Amino acid sequence: MLSKKMIEELQKFIDQHSVILEFNFSESENLYSYDDLDPQDIEEFMEENREPSFAEVLFGFIDKRGYSDTEVYKRAGMDRRHFSKIRSNPDYKLRKSTVVALAFALELNKKETEQLLESAGFSLNHHDTFDLIIQFHLKKKIYDLDHVNEALEYFSVKTLF
């Protein structure tokens, strides 16, 4: 159960870290001609800049922590089939909440959680209540998913599962 103190701390954290985004748009010149592009240059660029896949990052953290796959997917509130899809299908598209649940199951810190999220194409933002609640729990090292879900529910945000 969320204590009144915890709710107040969480509300203060959300208020302090919320960001309103402003954008200024301007036109820019196209400095490159598409005719100048060499497919080999593109391949080299991709080879030099490709980051590890989500599965590589996830299973790297699992190995580093010394957990078994079973421990992780159970702690993340997942079933074996769902976890197997992540392991066996490199093109499997995850939901952000699934990645967050896995990060909490592994008890990752904020930097590691951001690395895991980024490998799946997500990030933690300072303008989203869900993300701020996740960041709050990471900062406090509260990895209990029931507690996280209770906080998300309290602030009328979709829960992890």
Q: Which two tokens stand for residue 105?
A: 């199951």
Q: Residue 149 pLDDT > 70, yes or no?
A: yes
pLDDT digits 0-9 by tens, 29-76:
666 667 777 889 889 999 999 999 999 999 999 999 999 999 999 999
Compute the distance between CA of residue 129 and CA of residue 11 in angstroms, rounded to an integer: 10
Question: What contacts 24+ positions apart, CB below 8 Å, involve 134-140?
Answer: 134/100, 135/13, 135/17, 135/110, 136/9, 136/10, 136/13, 136/14, 137/104, 138/108, 138/109, 138/110, 138/113, 139/13, 139/110
Alpha helices in the chain (DSSP H): 4-17, 39-49, 54-65, 69-75, 80-88, 96-105, 110-119, 129-140, 145-154
Amino acid at site 105: A
CATH 1.10.260 at 54-155, yes or no = yes
More confidently predicted of 99 and 16: 99
**What is the pLDDT, as a whole number, of residue 33?**
66
Residue pLDDT, tens place only, 96-131: 999 999 999 999 999 999 999 999 999 999 999 999
